[in-house]
Chains A and B, each alone.
Chain A
Amino acid sequence: MKRVSLVLMLAFAAPLAAQPAGAQTLKAIKDRGQLSCGVSQGLPGFSAPDDKGNWTGLDVDICRALAAEIFDDPTKIKFVPLSAKDRFTALQSGEIDVLSRNTTWTLSRDTALGANFTGVTYYDGQGFMVKKSLKVNSALELSNASVCVQTGTTTEQNLADYFKSNNMKYEVIAFGTNDEAVKAYESGRCDVFTDDVSGLYADRLKLSNPADHVVLPEVISKEPLGPMVRHGDDQWFDIVKWTLFAMIDAEELGVTQKNVDDMAKSDKPELKRAFGTDGNLGEQLGLTKDWFSRIIKTVGNYGESYERNVGAGSKLQIARGLNQLWNKGGIQYAPPIR
């Protein structure tokens, strides 16, 4: 019972680990010698181990960037795979420093859980996947369907809301992990599998014959996914927040993994500020002056990370869509590094 042990940690040990005395988390990570990063139990494109056991993905890149900023070594990370229902308790209890696990930003999670979201790594929405043989073209034709879902996510409530507001009946079968839900869907227990659309594309790859399944066009909810940190340590909150912003700003400024060394010598004032040749913005965060180039050298800018993990350079082939930069038709926008 992982959950019970986490709860016990929360009740007894947390006072030592997480007193809200300010700059504790960064110091604790440095003392420990590695970053503890909460990830999924395997969602291709976001956080999944490859065939050599290395974790990769859009969510993993945030942790790699953090480790690069702190240690100048993106391998100094302990990845903690968490199920949807264990993730918040793991963060609350201090088991992990940051939760970067395709988690939807909602009001109640921002408040009652005692945690803060640091930004949006991926604008997602909930969708449905069905077998092509059912000849369903729209989610509105799903009345009376059986739906498989992973428990402990926002999807269960969205599902209830959607079917209720469209006056359709349905049956929900909730499983403890994503893999169990996908397996039950594949075995025919459910007509429909529902998850965030990005997750549907990722899970479709796990099916024995992906071409037999289709993702329906309807997106029934807003699911802004992002990393999460505990309340009470504003410095750490800022570091995680600005790590993502730096990646997005880098794309906007045209800084890539390849040209990062050339760009560092640029005379442009905004680049000089980012690279720390002018001012000490990195030190204000509690990091080093070269924090920006460390991030880009490790994971590239946001666009590069996107394409490598979920976009054209990956098996998922998900178009940028909403996740394109704000000046290119999307809504990814980061405050300036200044």
Chain B
Amino acid sequence: MSTVSRSPPPQVALRLKRALGGRAGWGGFVLQILFVLILVWIGYEIFVNARSNLENQRITSGFGFLNNTAGFDVSQSLIPYSGSDTYARVLLVGLLNTILVSVIGIIFATLIGFIVALGRLSPNWLMSRVAGGYVELIRNLPVLFQMLFWYLAVLAALPGPRQSVSLFGAFFLNNRGLIIPRPIGQAGLAPFMVALLVAIVASIIVHYYARRQLFEKGKAIKVWPIALGLLIGLPLLTTLVFGAPFTVEIPKLKGFNFAGGVRVIPELVALAVALSTYTAAFIAEIIRAGILAVHKGQMEAGLSLGLGRGSVLRLIVIPQAMRVILPPLTSQYLNLTKNSSLAVAIGYPDLVSVFAGTTLSQTGQAIEIIAITMGVYLVLSLLTSAIMNFYNWRLSQGFGT
């Protein structure tokens, strides 16, 4: 668009005409305006129609219900929540749970997908067959079925809370989830966090400095001992000066369940495993296609320069493959996020379960709630796309220079 603003005015009109009217010129432009007007009119009619309908049947409408008290509880919440909070907060709780499982799923799906893709491309017969078998098996089974499988299989295998599998008397695994000690912040926490942050920033700076030295002066500096020293040394120093950053609360069996500690519920685990293994099968194929799209001469050239197989892959093949991989990979991320809406089948309190499920049936305001839910998924998907497009843009910038 920047070229438009720089060009002289007559050309702007010409471009506008061409963009809006196509080959038909101004006639086409009028047609397009008409088309938009008709769309707006249809939308308006639908809106008015729906509203008068609801009024006729005396069904409550509007968004006022969001301020009412929800009155039900949720098994997992990333923000403080109780039954006396509002439906608006329920929406937020559900949204955060959806985002949590999506982010975890995306990270693991990418990792597993990448490993499986490399396995499938490997010259090792056994490894490539195992990876191929994984892809064909997983991607051809319905994801809901896989969720139920993971959930019921995981639950059936685990003991009850009174017979928990215990590790060091602090970590417990049972059919209520994985219970780990909870860190509780102390006076030393703030300086500890600051020291950690400083160490991370310093390590990044050292990394770039070493890179520059390598490119400009041909001097290779080993980065990892310095980074490791910074990352461990600085926080350790503050701990010695200010005292321990946190104490741990050990979970204890109390009645039916464990009290204290942090608990990862099995619904989250089952959902994350199902989503990431399922999506990984598709991602593996996308990555394999991307790598195969890079001409094999690139690999051979790299090898002939004396680089190892791993280095060639990392420095030459993958950066070129990324251009092919990214657009379909984005679609898979979006699919994973949307598939997480099946969570209610295994009792994970995601957006669809707590908001489009419980809230809907308590308030009965189907149109508003379904509209909000669809809007939220749309925004989530657009955000994911935007992030991926930004990454893609940066990648193509990199190739340009």
Task: Spell out A's residues near B (CB within 8 Å).
Answer: 3-4, 6-7, 10-12, 14-15, 18-20, 84-85, 87-89, 92, 108-109, 111-114, 134, 142-146, 148, 151-153, 156-157, 159-161, 164, 170-177, 180-181, 183-184, 187-189, 191, 230-232
Once the chains bind, are A85 and B57 in contact (CB under 8 Å)?
Answer: no
A101 CB to nearest B CB, Å: 12
28 contacts between A and B (CB under 8 A): A10-B367, A18-B53, A18-B57, A19-B56, A85-B358, A88-B364, A92-B364, A114-B60, A143-B256, A146-B257, A156-B73, A156-B358, A157-B71, A160-B83, A171-B75, A171-B257, A172-B75, A174-B344, A174-B357, A174-B358, A175-B347, A176-B344, A177-B345, A180-B345, A181-B347, A183-B152, A187-B155, A188-B160
Which of chain A's residues have a CB closer than 8 A to the CB of B365? 112
Interface bracket on B = 35 or more
A229 CB to nearest B CB, Å: 11
A152 CB to nearest B CB, Å: 4
Chain A CB within 8 A of B46 CB: yes
* Secondary structure dominating the interface of A: mixed
Once the chains bind, are A231 and B57 in contact (CB under 8 Å)?
Answer: yes
Once the chains bind, are A12 and B72 in contact (CB under 8 Å)?
Answer: no
Q: Quick one: which of A142, A156, A172, A189 contacts B176, CB cutoff 8 A?
A: A189
A92 to B346, CA, bound (A): 28
Chain A CB within 8 A of B49 CB: yes
Which of chain A's residues have a CB closer than 8 A to the CB of B349? 174
Q: Contacts A7-B367, A146-B256, A180-B345; is A172 near B73 (CB within 8 Å)?
A: yes
Chain A CB within 8 A of B366 CB: yes
A11 CB to nearest B CB, Å: 4
Q: Which chain A residue lies CB-closest to B159?
A: A188
A148 to B151, CA, bound (A): 14
Once the chains bind, are A172 and B156 in contact (CB under 8 Å)?
Answer: no
Q: Quick one: which of A114, A156, A172, A174 contacts B54, CB cutoff 8 A?
A: A114
Which of chain B's residues have a CB closer than 8 A to the CB of A170? 73
The 4 closest A-B pairs by CB, nearest first: A114-B59, A152-B361, A112-B60, A176-B344
Once the chains bind, are B75 and A187 in contact (CB under 8 Å)?
Answer: no
Chain A CB within 8 A of B198 CB: no
Once the chains bind, are B49 and A146 in contact (CB under 8 Å)?
Answer: no
Q: Contacts A85-B360, A175-B344, A187-B175; is A92 near B59 (CB within 8 Å)?
A: yes
A161 to B74, CA, bound (A): 13
A169 CB to nearest B CB, Å: 8
Once the chains bind, are B362 and A151 in contact (CB under 8 Å)?
Answer: no
Once the chains bind, are B57 and A173 in contact (CB under 8 Å)?
Answer: no
Residues 218 to 265 of chain B near chain A (Cβ within 8 Å): 254-257, 259, 265
Which of chain A's residues have a CB closer than 8 A to the CB of B346? 175, 180, 184
Chain A CB within 8 A of B50 CB: yes
Q: Quick one: which of B59, B175, B254 contacts A188, CB cutoff 8 A?
A: B175
B199 CB to nearest A CB, Å: 38
A78 to B160, CA, bound (A): 44
A143 to B367, CA, bound (A): 38
Q: Quick one: which of B50, B56, B256, B347 contacts A174, CB cutoff 8 A?
A: B347
Q: Which chain B residue lies CB-closest to A188?
A: B175
Chain A CB within 8 A of B196 CB: no
Once the chains bind, are A114 and B58 in contact (CB under 8 Å)?
Answer: yes
Q: Quick one: which of B175, B256, B356, B367 contacts A11, CB cutoff 8 A?
A: B367
A18 to B344, CA, bound (A): 32
Which of chain A's residues have a CB closer than 8 A to the CB of B156? 187
Q: Quick one: which of B71, B74, B370 contacts A7, CB cutoff 8 A?
A: B370
Q: Contacts A15-B53, A180-B346; is A85 near B361 (CB within 8 Å)?
A: yes
Chain A CB within 8 A of B353 CB: yes
Which of chain A's residues have a CB closer than 8 A to the CB of B49? 11-12, 15
Given contacts A89-B360, A92-B57, A176-B357, 13 further A-B contacts (CB under 8 A): A7-B367, A15-B49, A15-B52, A85-B361, A92-B364, A152-B360, A170-B73, A175-B344, A177-B345, A180-B345, A184-B347, A187-B152, A187-B156
Q: Which chain B residue lies CB-closest to A171?
A: B75
Once the chains bind, are A84 and B71 in contact (CB under 8 Å)?
Answer: no
A88 to B59, CA, bound (A): 11
Q: Contacts A84-B361, A175-B344; is A232 near B57 (CB within 8 Å)?
A: yes
